[in-house]
A and B are shown apart, each in its own frame.
Chain A
Amino acid sequence: MRAINNWLEKCTNKYDQSAGIYINFLRTEVLFKEFLKSRNTKTKVKTELGGNPMGVRVVTGRSILAAIMGLGVAFSAQAGKYPDIGPLPQLKINKAKAELGKRLFFDKRLSGDAAISCATCHDPKSGYAHPDALSPGYPGNGHFRNAQTVVNAAHKKVWNHDGRIGTNLNDMTREMLTEDYIMNMDMRIMQERVKQDPVYVKMFKDAGYGEPSNGSVRKAIPEYLQTLTSRNSLFDKGKMSASAKKGMALFKGKGGCIQCHNGPLLTDQKAHNTGVAENFDIFLDPNNHQAFIAFTMFQGVPDYMNLKRDPGYYNVTLLKQDIGKFITPQLRELKYTAPYMHNGMIKTLADVVEFYNQGGGKDSRKDSALKPLDLSKAEKKDLLAFLNALSGDQLTSDEHVWKGKYPAEYEVIADWNNVKN
């Protein structure tokens, strides 16, 4: 170990002018040491080293999976034939587990400084998205992307605007909890907080998880997320207006939307470049920019200090052609989830329709499927009516929202000296 350290020490902090890649060996070293030191307490210790020596992508297990999944969900799409945009399949739900997940989702004690919960950014009143263009961040920083809805997230195969998670909602939940610019939670502290609350102790037991643990938190929250699915949209009920029906025809026909927005969720779950303009607030507000830098640094995106745009799917593949691509979002619940796009740059659905009418935004790598559509005023209205018909009931009753109070203080465990920890 010492030999390795010496070697690492020697190469500390070199700046590779030619590649323009900032090489921070000490960081590698620190991570490596952490790995050796605590193999058993910290499993997932980085194979994912930011700013690695050769400027070559150390592809993370996760990213690989994301990439593979991205391909996996590529429906055998031949020209003109796309998976049908029918209703969503039913999900099997374990009530006790979902109920526990619900309480966790709204509980601020699941963040490092106990100031924010999942619902702070995924707000039921905003369709479990956030009404700001750029999501709030963990206290002390902002964010660089729009917080999208988590309704129907359980039906997806690829998560985040850049699709960097392609495994399951358990990993997605871990990502949200542990990312320093999101909830910054040390899972060990989280576990002990949960164990300190008798309501949780009972709920975990009733759910069949036994003693509260960080692992079962990451199972219970996804179970709850499964309950958040669209219901009673006019589209699903077959009760669309005549205008919406015309809109659907445009969606599948002249508008060409179906090429990317297909299947029950109206997404191919693949990455495309639509040329959405950058949100300058990412870079003009240092609070947002710091989260962006931390993210790109950790992900090992080259030259992250000089980036002036969100690299999007490039972050997963590091292939130039993927710069500016984002995963096609689902189009359900749009009524509640404005503003739109990965960075909230489009404020209303009417503006989105206009955006496509003009053939998308400006980007040399823009998807060739996007061309000016030449829609009439009436056609735009119809398309809008269709998009609105895809939203169901708001999920704001206590069936989905934990409305109970959380204790202001942690209860003390009685007879502490004589009970097992």
Chain B
Amino acid sequence: MKKVTKLRFTVLAAAITTTFVLGCVGQATAGGIPPLASLDTLDVPIPPDNKQSPAKVELGKILFFDPRIGGDASTGCSTCHEPDQGWAWSEDFSRGYPGTVHWRNSQTIINSAFYPRQFWAGSASSNEKQAKSAATGGVAGNGESDIMEARLALIPDYVTRFKDVFGTEWPLITDVWLAISAFERTMNTLGKHEAPLDKYLKGDKSALNEQQIKGKALFEGKAGCIQCHNGALVTDSDYHNIGVPPNKRWEEDGLAQITFRFEQYAKGQTQEGYRKAKSDWGFYYRSKNKWDRGKFRTPSLRYAAYTAPYMHNGVFMSLEEVVDFYNVGGKDEEGRTTLFPENMDKRIKPLGLNDDEKEALVAFIESMSGPEITMKKPTMPPYAPLFTKAQLQAAQEAK
């Protein structure tokens, strides 16, 4: 299939997206703030049209690690979601497809299935949709459905597995998204990867140390973090502008400038917006409302100990820096903040935390991460020719 060939600015797309958008904001607004809870109080959401099965999960796992799910067979999901880097990528901007750099921080896939919508600005409504857009996006996988599907047909192990799991004669690219999603739904911090906080919340009072318990109180009280980071997933899954400043790499790095402008197109900016945007407008790209500029989905803080750097553009290298940022009311150490201060959430204000309190808060956030989730990378099943020479010769004879 061909790549996008013509560039126009989107006006119409807004009307379509708003309907989706309306359906999903404001979950946490009604009826007070959901308290922190252990993750096992949540069920992994399983869509009725993509039931889990061990064979499907196993297939999804291999596919997740297979770089042939992507344009030039070099960049698969695990390339940017490195198990050793918190199933994310430990640079501010994610690495990109070869020849590009991404413009956002790579999110961990751990617990991602619990979110009602994926991506920093929630642009995907399910893991299935997310996987497709990751594999095909110009600065991510940059693959096209037909060549990826063609590859799978030439990998006998996949042909067998897809037939077994999905009952098709040949693997379908759409089933790839299903299988990968099934795998992702198993990638969570339940069971043996439970965090100390979960144990604590379930009654093991020794699971948190004194400093962490102090941090918890700050989190739920003076620091006000619970207002957005709440419930079992430690997020309201809503969108807020908390004042994160633009990444300076856009001022200093030509490659990053290219992607920046490309993303304005890809996200459906207006002509005027394309010319003047100097930061990621976040949720705006979906709602097209100016008051949504600079809003991003509240991330879960689970597993965050492994996923530095932080924020949609990775501007903070450590949890300490994040806490400093909140402590001064949403500014970095140079006093830089969002380019849309008018949209900033009113709850972000100087907190007046002293050093002890800041450390306690960091220690508490760390208690939301359990043992690291590691995995041996599966071996990639090889290609094999579909026809024998004899078959080809016979076809030749029959011409």
Contacts and interface: CB of A to CB of B under 8 A. Distances in A.
Interface of A: 1, 12-13, 15, 22, 24, 26-27, 30, 36-44, 46, 50, 109, 111-115, 138-141, 174-175, 177-181, 184-189, 191-193, 195-196, 213-215, 275, 277-278, 280, 283-287, 289-294, 297-298, 305, 308-309, 324, 362-365, 409-413, 416-417, 420-421
B254 A412 contact: yes
16 contacts: A30-B174, A43-B6, A109-B99, A112-B72, A113-B97, A140-B74, A175-B2, A178-B2, A187-B7, A192-B262, A195-B258, A286-B151, A294-B1, A294-B146, A308-B395, A413-B254
B209 to A, nearest CB: 44
Given A139-B72, A184-B72, A37 B13 contact: yes
A297 B277 contact: no
Contacts of A36: 16
B82 to A, nearest CB: 19
A179 B262 contact: no
B376 interface: no
Nearest to A50: B146
Contacts of B192: none
Among B147, B153, B261, B262, find the residue whose CB has the most chain A CB atoms closer than 10 A. B147
Given A38-B13, A189-B139, A421-B264, A180 B144 contact: yes
Contacts of B154: 286, 289-290, 293
A293 B153 contact: yes
Nearest to A412: B254
A175 B2 CA distance: 8
Nearest to A195: B261
Contacts of A191: 7
A122 B74 CA distance: 24
Contact of B251 (A38, A115, A417): A417
Given A140-B71, A278-B392, A421 B147 contact: no
B72 A179 contact: no
Interface string B277-292: 1100000000000000
Contacts of B72: 112-113, 115, 138-140, 184
Interface string B229-267: 000000000000000000000111111011111101110
A52 to B, nearest CB: 14
Contacts of A287: 383
A141 B71 CA distance: 9
A420 B275 contact: yes
Among A189, A364, A421, find the residue whose CB has the most chain B CB atoms closer than 10 A. A189
Nearest to B394: A308
B5 interface: yes
Given A113-B142, A309-B399, A412-B252, A42 B264 contact: no
Given A109-B99, A174-B2, A286-B386, 13 more contacts: A41-B266, A50-B146, A112-B3, A139-B74, A195-B258, A280-B389, A284-B389, A290-B151, A292-B150, A293-B150, A412-B252, A412-B253, A413-B257
4 nearest A-B pairs in the assembled complex, by CB-CB distance: A410-B254, A140-B73, A114-B99, A293-B150
A241 to B, nearest CB: 38
Interface string B95-131: 0011110000000000000000000000000000000
A42 B74 contact: no
A347 to B, nearest CB: 18
A389 B34 CA distance: 85
A22 B147 contact: no
A192 B174 CA distance: 30
B10 interface: yes
Nearest to A215: B6
